[in-house]
């Protein structure tokens, strides 16, 4: 799931919240309005969690993966250099002895 997917989900939930607000305004029965408000509040909580938690966490995760990829590439280069150094050292020792 990407950051764009989360934004799309957030937008659809926000649209549903707007629809429920309109339904609340149109409804005259207080019991029905109360049930609609409960549903709206649950959707609002989901929207809040997505906006304040999931989307920023996804951005941090993406940044950390980029850093990890760079570190992995550096580690591979270090291993290659160590191997080449050891190989050169062994060949030098063969020629000197």
CB burial string 13-31: b at 16+ within 10 A, e below: beeebeebeeebeeeeeee
Domain count, the chain: 1
Per-residue pLDDT of 16-74, as tens digits, reads 999 999 999 999 899 999 999 999 999 999 999 999 999 999 989 999 999 998 988 88
Would you say residue 82 lies in a domain? no
Does residue 94 register a pLDDT over 80? no
- Per-residue pLDDT band for 97 (boundaries 50, 70, 90) equals low
Does residue 14 register a pLDDT over 90? yes
Would you say residue 53 lies in a domain? yes
Range of the domain at 29: 3-72
């Amino acid at each position: 799931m990407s950051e764009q997917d989360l934004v799309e989900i957030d937008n659809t939930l926000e649209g549903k919240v707007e629809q429920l607000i309109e339904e609340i305004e149109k409804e005259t029965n207080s019991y029905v309005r109360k049930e609609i408000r409960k549903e709206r509040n649950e959707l609002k909580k989901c929207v809040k969690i997505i906006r304040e938690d999931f989307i920023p966490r996804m951005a941090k995760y993406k940044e950390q993966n980029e850093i990890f990829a760079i570190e992995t590439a550096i580690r591979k280069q270090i291993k290659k250099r160590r191997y080449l150094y050891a190989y050169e050292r062994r060949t030098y020792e063969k020629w000197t002895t």
